Structure 1
């Protein structure tokens, strides 16, 4: 009987792996061509950060709602709906000829970030009667992240090769077709989670958190536009933070809250959410700056490698292969040591990789080496954080807890994206005064400042270092182990 169940679970993981392959493809495909997209839309490199920032803002808004809906009406159903929205947005990108239209479609595409939390919650719900549930979920998460990174590698290599050979409109059409195939795979290959809780969405809580997040992330956007010397953006950021107070108070009184804020008080979960936010600064906020740094011509800007799209995709591919290795190695590291120590070690690798950019950034070998080190830790964290949240959360809040790892991660990425955009934007003004090279529009007049890239590396490395300390010293030693998960399962029969 156990073998049959494991076989059925393997089948579900297999179909979900294709979904994550598609997610990875979307994440990797565009990265080598971000400079080309900027040229196509006639905007400077620093404006590419608007794409990241807007998508992250939407992700922070929709993930809590969709994760809660997954617990209520079924994780497969919400997975299907979110994939349909992603397909429409992705297919709109090739036909968006202005930056505002492209930005709108790109932002809507960000709904796909809810896929992994929904998948982890679905797997967790299907392993509820099995021994070693946490380890099974961690292994499944590792397989999904491996598929995600395989998709990202494929996307980066294919995107990097095609952007050097084909018109950009045709290149941008390909991901949308893959998402349509993904939609069919979910519809016909993925079974629904066995338990749906029902209930209603906390509309007041949704409105409060939406306004708070919009104010906070909108203030970050204003900082990029109006500058850090202007007090208005800072006031909007502070307002957004203050608006979380009435939201938290409402949620504490609500019998079925949108987000159970008590989860943030958990000794096991609070450091996980903090780590996700800090980790989001590098894994989500740094991708565009790293791509544009590599593509920048050193003969005009004084830094960068000045390489083409395909060679850039090889650097990204090495990073993603390292992420696959890190994701697959995490369950073994957690079993040999403890999940807490394995998570802390992964965060340390991320910190080391980015801090190595400070002295070593002038050659192709430097870039590959640093990104491989960071990739090993990043892959482990991408796989481990949702699984750790699932094992540490009450059974009826699995989707919410896994969704919160993505929400906090995207908020961290949005903060970093704003910081990086501000830091790099100074270089556009500086470079605009650089006279007259024929290719100055590409490399000189639009390139960010080197000091801005130093900020990127320091923020990414420093945030990961703080996460490592929090994981090592703030998380209970026995957190995320199966006995904890078993103990939490006992109340299920009384529901």
Structure 2
């Protein structure tokens, strides 16, 4: 029985990562109909996405730090449980206030991937760690690619609450399997939890992401947006000073600002920006009316199916990315991945009218994202002590989230300023989409440059421990070149 549990550790944790991405994605096909279904305004309905984004950004580094201190499995189960509870609340209500609160609760699931990566680093033998971490990193894209068509099919052919009942059942299965098969890591970072630091980070990030996500709707020069951005700078400035003085800070800023950690964080932000633009722009472009001259007029279900090959590619390529990192180094994998993302956008600029070219270019972007996302946690694991892996990877995932939020705002700003009337309605022009592709491709190239200047590895600070608590050699799979 123990051997079976050990064999199930990687697939169960990967299943949890896929569930997290599915939970974040399934609400997207519902957004156009939710005002009618809930009796709420379109602005209120948009908070079902914003609330998850804000909660995930705040809770990811906090739960990561809690996992390092109190036990990664314990906090992982907490995150999965909150995710499942949020799905159940959505299944039981049509009240927009409860729905928004439930979606905020589901934001805790964003911590599943960094916690799982840390567990894999602590528990697996060296020859399995690299491929397992690569698979875990790819679950974000796999789940997103699976979630959209699944949700669209349910919404089109069944009551919308069925979607949340289905995700509740999946969440309960994932939580139960994690409780049964995943061992608790003995690697801990003892100390007192930095409550003041957690509150400061929560307020600062909320101001930042709320300002970025609502800027297009409220107006970028409106007093609310300017106040949020100024407040973000002030609060995070005070938080930074507090973290430097704290004996046991929430985020070890001295470590986080070292080049071997800071540059992967910068690359994560840029990669998150480039990755998200592919999904966002492709979905809008193929659903545009045929009268535009470039749109395909596809349904939400067909749009989801277009994104599905990218998820399959991420699943199949994760072992390849691990082998590339082991042979050439994770920073080379990251550089190659971001370069491939830029190539995908180059294809989109050349031709965005033919369906097969759109699918091909999206698949190319998915290939680059697989390589990039698999390399990022590997770079972090090599650069931080074993007792800080969950919190450090939590910060890295946070940077991806911020990149995605900024990408969404930037794409929206470009498309809003490049529209024409089609059938009396303003529709984004092809030129606007091409500008968005060029912007995302340029950001991917900057991420490539950031990857190339990441310093080579010295010795990892802190040996890896086995599940029995004894010292073990460093992971050769994480060593790179």
Distance 1:68 1:331 in 2: 26
SS in 1 for 2:254: helix
- 1:463 aligns with 443
Residue 115 (structure 2) pairs with residue 125 (structure 1): no
Backbone CA RMSD of aligned residues: 3.4
Distance 1:427 1:193 in 2: 52
- 2:367 aligns with 376
- 2:84 aligns with 87
TM-score, normalised to structure 1's length? 0.83
- 2:54 aligns with 57
SS in 1 for 2:463: helix
Residue 472 (structure 2) pairs with residue 475 (structure 1): no
Match 2:316 to one of 293, 314, 325: 325
Match 1:220 to one of 212, 216, 222: 212
Which digits, 9 at most, give the CA deviation of each residue in 1:215-234, with x for residues without a partner?
Answer: 22232245223323446523
Which digits, 9 at most, give the CA deviation of each residue in 1:351-370, with x for residues without a partner?
Answer: 22234323322121122011
Distance 2:329 2:3 in 1: 25
1:334-413 alignment, distance < 5 Å: 334-413=325-404
Q: Which moved more, 1:170-179 or 1:158-167?
A: 158-167
Shift of 1:462: 2.1
Shift of 1:466: 0.8
Shift of 1:178: 0.9
Shift of 1:112: 1.0
- 1:439 aligns with none
Which digits, 9 at most, give the CA deviation of each residue in 1:112-141, with x for residues without a partner?
Answer: 1110100111111224xx5xx4x6422111
Give yes or no for contact 1:205–1:251 (8 Å, CA) kept in 2: yes
Unaligned runs of 5+ in 1: 436-443
Give yes or no for contact 1:68–1:399 (8 Å, CA) kept in 2: yes
Distance 1:251 1:327 in 2: 36
- 1:295 aligns with 287
Shift of 1:329: 1.4
Shift of 1:158: 3.0
* Change beyond 3 A, Cα 1:204–1:455: farther
Residue 481 (structure 2) pairs with residue 484 (structure 1): no
Distance 1:426 1:97 in 2: 35
Give yes or no for contact 2:380–2:392 (8 Å, CA) kept in 1: yes
1:93-172 alignment, distance < 5 Å: 93-95=90-92, 97=94, 101-127=98-124, 133=126, 136-145=128-137, 151-172=143-164
* Change beyond 3 A, Cα 1:32–1:456: farther
* Change beyond 3 A, Cα 1:219–1:255: same
SS in 2 for 1:340: helix
Unaligned runs of 5+ in 2: 472-481
Match 2:231 to one of 236, 239, 260: 239
Give yes or no for contact 1:326–1:378 (8 Å, CA) kept in 2: no
- 1:273 aligns with 265
Shift of 1:37: 5.2
Give yes or no for contact 1:348–1:465 (8 Å, CA) kept in 2: yes
* Change beyond 3 A, Cα 1:281–1:108: farther
- 2:477 aligns with none
Give yes or no for contact 2:80–2:171 (8 Å, CA) kept in 1: yes
- 2:248 aligns with 256
Shift of 1:235: 4.7
Shift of 1:387: 2.6
